[in-house]
Amino acid sequence: MTSEAVTLGNRWKDTADTVIIGGGCVGVSLAYHLAKGGMKDVVLLEKSELTAGSTWHAAGLTTYYHPGINLKKVHYDSIKLYETLEAETGQAIGFHQPGSVRIASSAARVDEMKYQMTRTHWHVTQQYLIGPEKVQELFPLLNMDKVLAGLYTPGDGHIDPYSLTMALAAGARMYGAQIYNPAPVTSLKPTADGKWDVQTPHGTILANRIVNTAGFWAREVGKMIGFEHPTIPVHHQYVVTATVPEVKALKKELAVIRDLEGSYYLRQERDGLLFGPYEKMEKMVLQDSWVRDGVPPGFGKELFESDLDRIMEHVEMAMEMVPVLKKADIINVVSGPITYTPDLLPMVGPHQGVRNYWTAIGFGYGIIHAGGIGKFLSDWIRNGEPPYDLIECDPNRYGKWTDVPFICAKARESYGFNNVVGYPKEERFAGRPTSRTSGVYELLKDKASMGFHAGWEQPHWFYKPGDDMGYKPSFRRTNWFGPVGRECQLVMEKVGVIDLTPFGKFIVKGKDSHKLLDRLFANSMPKVEHMFKITQINSCITRLTLTRRLKLILFTKLHKHIYK
């Protein structure tokens, strides 16, 4: 330990069970949960100061809502933590829960909300499809001319990201974690026994595992061990107004609104309003120079230059929906970097290729994800398996085929499509095809509606003369309903050829192959010309097809479990 490390205010540790790299909200949440869960040697290293990067300038929105199923649980765990954190740590966090309303101003949006209502009971949250009268009650400053309905989520709101992070840090320290800053990581070196030498200017820590929570610095951390994580910073702007008399006169706080057709969120900020849009993909700005050249060494609590012209289309729509904005004075425009992955979902879990390297990166919505992801990853690290299915956030869903042009194209699409109607079985086409095309792709691409699986192009359904062709999503029967039924009948009654290129295939050889697979699988291997019996509940996570040569074809998803 050097004398400089003494200024960190903590006794420098030379060994640790877990070293967390990055002191944003997600990293500090993980430190808090690991320490609270009983892990004794938890160290967090922050290169400058806590919240530097994206956390400090975030708009701080919190919501139980998520269009998917699994991430609803993450949002739920985050909010339940934030509701009790101030009492637990004694640190104020500025948590407001006025509820939120998603505005439907088209028939397609009403259909989308009805669809989402069918998915509300997977987790213990409240969500209601409400009419215009209730919408106006929750946000009385709305112009109701175009409002058809709303999706109301009680308990939603916003939080102060800086105060939240500091409260989590206080809790982490209270339970025994060490937080060092400034302590930039300069090198990561794996040891022969699977541990890591984590080098900093203050000394080296030998860690059983490392977790990359470095935000838009995650690529730099990954490069230290040979990974090119597919994350990219995007410019996100929001506008803060001065006091609005109509807001100040209200007797209760306004619900957060999300005008989906206008593609913006709007919430109360003291006696004014805070408005944040998501521009269309052709107008949004990527900080792609950071992907090519790296993040500038001193960038931490800086912002980008604002550009109101870029968001003026959304400003005008917001003024139409909330007329008091027309006469509101702007006091601040924040334009800062937030990190996107190609599909906008974070990368959470152990990374293949090296031992004991974990990630929690790529958070476009880091504040609402931080609490729940910290708990999820802590449970996984401490117990050896994930507490629930979050396979869509698997960091190994990307590979060497994920090049920079693909990352840029998909991030631009994901940002621009932030508030598009979310149909079932959605397909997005930016960046396709990748280098992953099979030998039959050229033959099939004009004869089929192609899907995208792990970078591969694969036929979803085939056209026949007279079919309604192309991608036409719907909440009702789509143009593929009839053709897919026809194909199923042909395969069952006659014969079909299926392109299995995207599917995982494993060949197990040797005289004891049968014994090995008997031990690995939950069920025993069937005898030749026999088959498995399915469980009574008719449910499985992973389904495998085997041939007599013991060639395994993976049809669904495979969980990776890490045992102590």
Q: What is the pLDDT of residues 357-411, one digit of tens each?
A: 999 999 999 999 999 999 999 999 999 999 999 999 999 999 999 999 999 999 9
pLDDT of res. 557: 44
What is residue 373's three-state secondary structure? helix
Angle between helices 161-174 and 25-36 (to 10 degrees): 30
Q: How far apart are CA 415 and CA 425, in angstroms?
A: 19
- CATH 1.10.3470.10 assigned to domain 1-94+156-229+342-399? The reply is no
What ranges do the domains of the chain cover?
1-94+156-229+342-399, 100-154+232-340, 432-493, 504-554
CB 419, CB 284: distance < 8 Å: no
Q: How far apart are CA 553 and CA 123, in angstroms?
A: 33
pLDDT of res. 4: 40
Is the overall model pTM greater than 0.85, yes or no? yes
In the chain, the percentage of residues whose pLDDT exceeds 70 is 92
Question: What stretches in the chain show pLDDT beneath 50?
Answer: 1-9, 537-541, 550, 555-564
pLDDT of res. 502: 87
Query: Which amino acid makes up residue 349?
Result: G
Place of tokens 């912002």: 303
pLDDT of res. 120: 85
pLDDT of res. 324: 98
To which CATH superfamily is domain 100-154+232-340 assigned?
D-Amino Acid Oxidase, subunit A, domain 2 (3.30.9.10)
- Cβ contacts of residue 438 below 8 Å, gap of 6+? 456, 457, 458, 499, 501
pLDDT of res. 35: 98
pLDDT of res. 123: 76
pLDDT of res. 5: 39
Q: How far apart are CA 411 and CA 422, in angstroms?
A: 17
Question: Please, which residues bridge with residue 234 across strands?
Answer: 286, 338
What is residue 174's three-state secondary structure? helix
Q: How far apart are CA 220 and CA 181, in angstroms?
A: 18
pLDDT of res. 11: 77
Angle between helices 161-174 and 70-89 (to 10 degrees): 70
What's the token pair of residue 186?
């300069």
pLDDT of res. 564: 36
